[in-house]
Structure 1
Amino acid sequence: MGELFSVADLEAFIVQAKRHSYVGGAKRLLPYRLGSKDIQYVSGDWAYHDSYFGDSDFIGQELVYFQKSPVWAMNYFGYITKPDQIDAHTVGRMIKASLSNMYQEGRFLGAFEHVQDDLRYVDTNEGDVTFFQGKEFIYRRDEVVYELLYHGGLLKK
């Protein structure tokens, strides 16, 4: 990492960026790669870039830059496990509502649960902002209908 920023500052920026990008309905950039969907958030010395592919089943990567150098990243893959019970639009709406509530708590890691109508969002993970892995699920009547795997942490030279 280095002495230029603290882990607490990094984590605060990540929460801020996540809140203002996908969850906040940020405008997409022109694709960086063929078929990608790209979103960016910049504040001072910090920049966040989320780039993903797909819709109902998707893969992506988030990168945080400090003074134009990459310092943190997260990879993710999400998929609908029961397409006969839920569609991509409903999953997206539930994820945005759930993550918005989590970010209001000033965090993006740690056990979290959110219930809305007949859906229950659950996030579980291990580690902290420096090194972590986890899963998020959406349940409909106690059956997993969506799952996302993610992992990431600090980038070191």
Structure 2
Amino acid sequence: MSEMNQEEFIRFLIRAKQETYAAQGDDGTRQPLVPGSKQLEYGEGPWLYRDIYFGFSHFSGQEVVYDRECPIWSMTYSGGTAPDIKDSRRIREVYAFLRAALRKLQPDRPFRGPCLFREGAFRYEDESVGGVDQFHGRERITEEGRVIYSLTYQGGWIR
């Protein structure tokens, strides 16, 4: 992919991520291709972004970007809230903060949220290695110093 196309791809990826889970959460789910999953999609021109995941308090999933129906980029992820957080209202509160962080994607690392984001008692941190071509990372949310959510991810161009 040329440098100009990569820049266009990153802009698309950011829009797709901001318009799907970061904006809508599970409410944006459409009829899933895989039984038992949740599925979010965003399309623009020749590109389609599809995020399929399983679970709620702990979840696993995969994001794939297609160029004219050919998969070109993917990211897998797994994580969730701390095991002792069982109340669904509390889990939703943590995920609402997570979505706020995910809306702040940066072009130099368009995988998850910013390196650091704070709001109220919550603190979001993300560390990643690599670029859009090949990367891995970890994000977590703390509240008053206690880890209440964590997730690992990895991905890159499909070759």
TM-score normalised by structure 1 residue count: 0.88
Q: SS of the counterpart of 1:125?
A: strand
* Partner of residue 117, structure 2: 114
Q: SS of the counterpart of 1:29?
A: coil
Q: After TM superposition, give the deviation of residue 28 of structure 1 in Å.
A: 1.4
TM-score normalised by structure 2 residue count: 0.87
Give matches, 1:127-146, under 5 Å.
127-146=130-149
* Partner of residue 58, structure 1: 59
Q: After TM superposition, give the deviation of residue 82 of structure 1 in Å.
A: 5.1
Equivalent of 2:95 in 92, 95, 98: 92
Q: Partners in 1 of 2:39 and 2:85 — Cα distance? A: 29
Q: After TM superposition, give the deviation of residue 59 of structure 1 in Å.
A: 0.4
- CA contact 2:85–2:91 (8 Å) conserved in 1: no
Q: Partners in 2 of 1:91 and 1:15 — Cα distance? A: 22
* Partner of residue 152, structure 1: 155
Q: SS of the counterpart of 1:35?
A: coil
For structure 1, list consecutive stretches of 5 or more residues without a partner in the other structure. none
* CA RMSD, 1 decimal: 2.2
Q: SS of the counterpart of 2:32?
A: coil
Paired residue type of 1:112: C
Q: After TM superposition, give the deviation of residue 108 of structure 1 in Å.
A: 2.1
* Partner of residue 46, structure 1: 47
Q: After TM superposition, give the deviation of residue 84 of structure 1 in Å.
A: 4.2
Q: Partners in 1 of 2:30 and 2:117 — Cα distance? A: 30
Q: Quick one: percent identity of the two aligned structures?
A: 32
For structure 2, list consecutive stretches of 5 or more residues without a partner in the other structure. none
Q: After TM superposition, give the deviation of residue 155 of structure 1 in Å.
A: 0.4
Moved more, 6-15 or 51-60: 6-15
Q: SS of the counterpart of 2:28?
A: coil
- CA contact 1:82–1:144 (8 Å) conserved in 2: no
